[in-house]
Structure formats: structure tokens, C-alpha cells
Amino acid sequence: MNQILKIEHIEKYYGNKGNLTKAIDDISFEVQNGEFIAIMGASGSGKTTLLNCISTIDTVSAGHIFLSGTDITEIKEKELARFRRENLGFIFQDFNLLDTLTISENIAMALTINKVATGEIEPRIKQMAEKLDIVPILDKFPYQVSGGQKQRCACARAMINNPKLILADEPTGALDSRSAQMLLTTIQTMNQELDATILMVTHDAFTASYAKRILFLKDGQIFTEILRGEQSRKQLFGKILDVMTLLGGDLSDVR
């Protein structure tokens, strides 16, 4: 496997000298191409800040982040938007779909912004829609489809430009249990069949149990990690709950 992401001794501070908060405290890890990693931790553990730094939405105070060998902490501000468009895919909790556009048009936007030739757009959308089982809803508007279907549309949009890394921020947070399970199966398909590399932040043990590796954060540091290996998802779920208990009984955050 090839290394796709390298986090090297990053730190993140908020505030000023008189009132500094250390959100990330010397975190280092690597992600290989094709991995599916979940990042867990209680509120305030640093998991969202970490995702924001990797996505270039926020900047690190110290350390380096490399994506396919490019040090993203050194990219100039005016070049960041283009870098995100060409290298990263995003799956958000609230879908971020435009209600005035059809499902197909929402997916097409990602291609249009990247200046893909008009003749290529429709075939690429159809191909992705077939893989994620949303062909029947392509001509519908977001308000006409279910929450789970909206998320599959969001997955298609995240994948359509073949990004190096997919970042998912609490993707099941706004879904009922059935829709959440459908979405997680879709994300698993993206990883296993489409070879997508996925980094997912979640507070939910059930959601994290779909990943191949789970990193647990506490007070801005990596507390421990679990590798799925040959374990069943049920066995992994149990181990996640055990670690959550060690982290301080944060089971109130686990659905």
C-alpha cells in the first residue's frame, strides 16, 4: 500500500498568549491508500480540529501535513481552494445539497467547477450513480428524496472527481438508524469496491465499527488505536465501547 497522508507532529492553538487553548497536542500518524479510518473522541478531544486542519479549512500552529507527498501546510492561501477541489472529497452531516438543482445537477457541479469537458459529465455521473444505486433519483430534487438517498448523492459528489482522500464529518449524525446503516454500507462500498481512502470523524461506536482502523483522541492527543483485522464488526463494536469506557465513561455520546 502507498502512503496517501502523513501527519507529522502537528499542534493547534486557539486564543492569545494570555489565554491559550491547545486543541491538538503533537499528533502524528499515517494513512495508507485504500484505508478506512474512523477518528473518535469526546467533545473537545480535538477530532473536528484535526479534520479541519487536514481539509485545509484550518491551519496548524506547528508541524506538517503531507497529502501524496505535498506539504499542505505550505500551500499559499490563494491556491488552497483549487487544491481542495482537485484532491479532497467531502461528506457533510447536513448534505450541503442545493434544493434548486436535481440530484444529477448537484453531482455535476463538482465536475463543472473542475472544468471537466461537457461531454464527459453525464457518462461519469451515470457510472457513479450505478455504483451507489441512485440512478432512479437522478432527476429528482433533494426535497423529493429520503435522508439516506441525499447522503448517497453526497457520496457520489464526493467521489466524482476521484479525490485522493475522502473526509467525512459525522456523516450519520442527522440520520435515523436505518438511513445511517444504508449510508455506512455505501461508504463501505466506496472503500472496498471503489478503492476510496476515507477518514471519518464520529462520536458513534456503531458508525466507527464500519472502519478498518479507529483512532481515539483525548485532550488533543492520540489515546490509542484499534485495528479491525479479522474481527467481525460486532467484535469491533464491543472493543470500541471498551475504549470509550476507558476514555472516561463517555457512553452518553454513543448511540
In the predicted structure, residue 255 carries a pLDDT above the cut 90: no
Per-residue pLDDT, averaged over 196-201, amounts to 96
Is the CB of residue 203 less than 8 Å from the CB of residue 168?
A: no
Q: Given its phi and psi angles, is residue 233 left (phi above 0), alpha (psi -120 to 50 degrees) or beta?
A: alpha
CATH number at residue 33: 3.40.50.300
Q: Work out whether strand 70-71 and strand 62-67 pair parallel, antiparallel, or are unpaired.
A: antiparallel
Contacts of 19 (CB under 8 A, 6+ apart): none
**What is the helix (H) or strand (E) element at residue 107, kind and residue range?**
helix 103-113
Say what the pLDDT of residue 15 is: 86
Q: Report how far apart, in Å, the C-alpha atoms of 121 and of each of 85, 109, 111, 162 are.
A: 16, 10, 7, 13
Say what the pLDDT of residue 1 is: 64
Quote the crossing angle between the two packed helices 118-131 and 147-159, to the nearest 10°.
Answer: 130
In this prediction, residue 250 has a pLDDT band, given cuts at 50, 70 and 90, of: very low
Q: What is the DSSP secondary-structure string of 59-105?
A: --SEEEEEETTEEGGGS-HHHHHHHHHHHEEEE-TT----TTS-HHH
Q: Work out whether strand 88-91 and strand 36-40 pair parallel, antiparallel, or are unpaired.
A: unpaired
- Rounded to a whole number of angstroms, the CA Rg of the chain reads 18
Least-confidence region, from 62-71, 155-164, 242-251: 242-251
Q: What are the tens digits of pLDDT across the range 18-36?
A: 788 899 999 999 999 999 9
Q: Given its phi and psi angles, is residue 10 left (phi above 0), alpha (psi -120 to 50 degrees) or beta?
A: beta
Residue 41, CB-side half-sphere exposure with 13 Å CA sphere? 26
Return mean pLDDT, the chain: 91
Phi, then psi, of 230 in degrees rounded to 5: -95, 5
The partner residues of 10 in beta bridges, in order of sequence, read 27
**Cell 479510518 sits at which residue?**
37
What's the domain range around 142?
3-253
Number of domains in the chain: 1
Torsion angle in degrees (nearest 10) through CA of 15, 57, 55, 22: 0
Q: What are the tens digits of pLDDT across the range 146-169?
A: 888 888 899 999 999 999 999 999
The partner residues of 168 in beta bridges, in order of sequence, read 91, 200
